[in-house]
Structure 1
């Protein structure tokens, strides 16, 4: 059974991707001062990417059907957690890094890229270190001032793809050591973001990977897989300890955590209870955009243009959009649970 589970994980979780930087117009030398609204700088994976991974399903129908009405680079039918956090801060979602030369950057920059991680999880995709390198270059170009950064916020979410890659490369079988090295690198990255001038950093805890529709196939999508969720719990325990250590080294609590793990679980359990009372409600472990074959993605079509996926009747009652990403409805529910933590940012 263990080997079967590992095989399913390797096929179904986040695929490898290739990073291609898209150049825009001539570089802007505009400096944004501290009198403008708070800015949000985003680092991580597809959970927070709002449009950097051009050659992906995020730019294919039916993604974006709820918001903005067509594919816009989010791995979702609509808004994701980045959009909700930006709204909480009373700003627009920050510009994807690929559009940095042709779009207003006064609300910040989103460096996140689907499929990437803390370490290298794709052939040449921008891992978090590379994303922070890009951030530092903008600072060196005086796009943002130190005073500007002082009043800004960073959102960091990564780790899921690292565990997928660890499985493929064999490091999964030395999981404790891998988790230690992963959390150590996260700490280095978080400290570096702070050293560049950001005084508030929100860090997402790892989601319950045993609840992802890609993996609940093992239970016929009747329940989350506890064995796999224990990986997330162990990771989060070590990450919380590391963040506490980082905060002890600063005058103020620079780093806060966003508990995606319990927010996901609580929302799923609530939806399951409601469904037990009303069987017409959608199973929260069932993706709204469901692929017909393993390895396909939401938006895949065959050589004749025939869809390789099916859609639920109403995405607004789903929790998951596809095999790994929440729907807008799912993210909205998670966001509501995270608001007490987000209050620490303001």
Structure 2
């Protein structure tokens, strides 16, 4: 395994080489006076509000959802997730999950949430739709006249992927980082292709979040008793974000008067909260609230005798992380609070 310094140097050099040879993309955009009226969400468990099948995840089991709505509904948290907060920021109801759209058809007027927990830009271990397949479903709704040109011109798309892609990569390489530079390049390239496709389908603004510092997730900090982030993992996330930022900048350069692509800086927002937890009334910021007794992944699991294989903290509102990789509702609230002061959030609402 690479040392932190060697890996970071390798990744930095690769970033320079990759970015210098990257081609620009042609993107068209038009200005509208209307505020966003619909939100379309694509991605993974950070935004999934109920698409993942019950057999695939503990997010449909107690104690998930205990803060909101009071029972498990498929959200990977004790309550709301990031998509819910962005919808509120847009003054919209949180868009209904794609798999539940026929149950409440009237809610489709606010948009659709296609995000599926455990998925990525590429295929992962989870048997669910990757980003491209999620966009395929969106395109079919457009084809069947569920949404017209006017709807799309007054819409925002949120794209939240990549964390599961890296988890799957490390699983297939037995934890080796040897080929990580080329993998980062291919992952950013695929994400960019999908962003362009959303624009061509007619969506006015496409918002993509950068990678969180996944070296600070409980899965990475467990070895230090939840006291210290993993620098190597954070270096990879940082490079991913650099490449993604450069790629999105190239997209917007093709349409300088009306840039359509916006990046949300999850990395800095997460770190700001984790490094200043008291500002948000958070204690032990790296420690998950719902922790497995024998494995950090056991939140919601029970044994054959129905005995819980996890414990839950006394007050989820004072915890940043809910389980091994997902923030609590309080954690997402804190992250969104930090993002609200950024130019990106302002750009989403204003033309």
Deviations 1:211-247 (A, max 9, x none): 0011101222112111211010010000000000111
1:153–1:199 Cα contact (<8 Å) kept:
yes
Q: Does residue 253 of the first structure (1) align with residue 259 of the second (2)? A: yes
CA gap of 1:285–1:90, structure 2 versus 1, over 3 A, is: same
Counterparts of residues 83-94 of structure 1 (less than 5 Å)? 83-94=84-95
Query: 2:10: which partner in 1?
Result: none
Q: Does residue 197 of the first structure (1) align with residue 210 of the second (2)? A: no
Residues in 2 aligned to 1:81 and 1:35: alpha-carbon distance in whole angstroms: 24
Corresponding pairs, count: 311
Query: 1:127: which partner in 2?
Result: 130
Where do 5+ consecutive residues of structure 2 fail to align? 4-32
Query: 2:11: which partner in 1?
Result: none
Where do 5+ consecutive residues of structure 1 fail to align? 4-33, 276-280
Query: 2:29: which partner in 1?
Result: none
Worse overlay, 231-240 or 213-222: 213-222
1:293 shift after superposition? 1.6
Counterparts of residues 29-48 of structure 1 (less than 5 Å)? 38-48=37-47
Query: 2:103: which partner in 1?
Result: 102
Q: Does residue 154 of the first structure (1) align with residue 160 of the second (2)? A: no
Worse overlay, 116-125 or 66-75: 116-125
- Normalization by structure 2: what TM-score? 0.85
Query: 2:170: which partner in 1?
Result: 167
Deviations 1:48-83 (A, max 9, x none): 101001221111100000011111110000111111
Residues in 1 aligned to 2:141 and 2:34: alpha-carbon distance in whole angstroms: 19
1:166–1:172 Cα contact (<8 Å) kept:
no
Query: 1:291: which partner in 2?
Result: 292
Residues in 2 aligned to 1:123 and 1:77: alpha-carbon distance in whole angstroms: 22
Residues in 2 aligned to 1:165 and 1:225: alpha-carbon distance in whole angstroms: 18
Counterparts of residues 1-346 of structure 1 (less than 5 Å)? 38-55=37-54, 56-103=57-104, 104=106, 105-122=108-125, 124-170=127-173, 172-250=177-255, 251-271=257-277, 282-294=283-295, 296-339=297-340, 340=342, 341-346=344-349
2:296–2:323 Cα contact (<8 Å) kept:
no
Residues in 2 aligned to 1:124 and 1:323: alpha-carbon distance in whole angstroms: 20
